[in-house]
Amino acid sequence: MPSIPFRRAPPKVELALVGHTDTVPYDPRWSEALRLTEREARLYGRGACDTKAFIAATLAAIETVELKNLRRAVALIFTADEEIGLIGAKRLAEARAIHSRYAIVGEPTSLRPMRAGKGYCLAEVTIKGREAHSAYPALGSSAIFRAAGLLARIQDLGAELQNYQHAAFDPPFTTLNVGLIKGGTAKNVIPGECRFTLEWRPVPGQDPGSLLSLVFAAIEEEKTRYPEFVCDVDAARTDEGFETAPDSKLVTMLEELSGHPSGTVAFGTEAAQLTELGAEAVVLGPGDIRVAHRTGEFVPLAELETCVKILRQAIERLCL
Ligand SMILES: [Zn+2]
């Protein structure tokens, strides 16, 4: 992948409006997935709320603003590959492509301003054993039994993570999940390999890598118990969360314009990268995250229209 050339002084803007252009895949049996369909004051289609609606609202809002009257710059940032790991936003942050004072990051929040979000971390753990006939256990080493020992330790680490509390979140701590596990080849073969995924969502303020260090320490302990213990950890993602102060001008303004108190989100967003780019960031957009990533995804028309008004007023108040 070619790198974006380094710029000495990134262009300064007052407000960045950020939406991702990619979507998750769709079930081919869903006939409306690629044909936007209006029904009962809702717009249906893949990406309807996550996040085509926010992008449409951004374009509609900017059309109503007299651009020549703007005293401070607005940036429209439409990114790629958010769903597979915030790739576009990470490249912008890495390249220091812009310096923004405030950012509104579009995600379906039912227009509630979200001022903080958890991070997202993912690792794949592979444990190697030695295959043998199950009638002769001494000839082999079970990767599944070794994995079970490590998993029990990881479960305890999950409980330990709850000691670090962040009251703004529900649940108020870093959560941890082992969502996939695969191992062995047959019922009468001592398994030679076992793999599992480890996913955790750190609250802002807690180092996303700290759990990984604890997992490495647990692996070392397992090695002292079982000298043959062989384990490889591939840490694919350690994305931090973000937090903007409740009394930030952007937060209080969006609370007023939306009529909703600010909140927090437990899913990963591009707000962390915008924070890296200097911004006080808030996540806000039309539609409900609970219908995103599902067949039948939709955005309510009324929320889409209200979002246009909120964004127009935000631009006018911050940039005129
Ligand atoms: Zn999204």
Between the CA of 105 and the centroid of ligand 1 the distance, in Å, is 10
Instruction: Give the pLDDT confidence of 212-268 residue by residue, as tens digits.
Output: 999 999 999 999 999 889 999 999 999 999 999 999 999 999 999 999 999 999 888
Quick one: which of 294, 267, 269, 299 has its CA closest to 282?
269
Instruction: Give the pLDDT confidence of 30-55 residue by residue, as tens digits.
Output: 999 999 999 999 999 999 999 999 99
Quick one: which of 279, 284, 273 has its CA closest to 14?
279
Q: How remote is the C-alpha of 101 from its chain's centroid?
A: 22
CA distance 54 to 67: 20
- Which residue in the list 14, 22, 83, 222 is annotated as catalytic? 22
Between the CA of 20 and the centroid of ligand 1 the distance, in Å, is 7
235 forms beta bridges with 123
CB of 75 within 8 A of CB of 92?
no
How many CB atoms lie under 10 A from the CB of residue 246?
A: 13
User: Which residues of the chain carry a pLDDT beneath 50?
Assistant: none
Residue 236 one-letter amino acid: A
pTM for this model (two decimals): 0.88
Q: Does residue 22 carry a catalytic annotation?
A: yes
- Coil vs helix vs strand at 285: coil
Q: What share of the chain is helix, strand, coil (3-state, %, to 5)?
A: 30, 25, 40
Q: Does residue 38 carry a catalytic annotation?
A: no
- Which residue in the list 82, 107, 131, 297 is annotated as catalytic? 82
CB of 239 within 8 A of CB of 84?
no
Q: Supply the pLDDT for residue 268.
A: 85
Between the CA of 50 and the centroid of ligand 1 the distance, in Å, is 5
Q: Specify the DSSP element, H or E, that contains 17.
A: strand 12-20
CA distance 105 to 246: 16
CB of 93 within 8 A of CB of 100?
no
CA distance 61 to 313: 9
Between the CA of 109 and the centroid of ligand 1 the distance, in Å, is 10
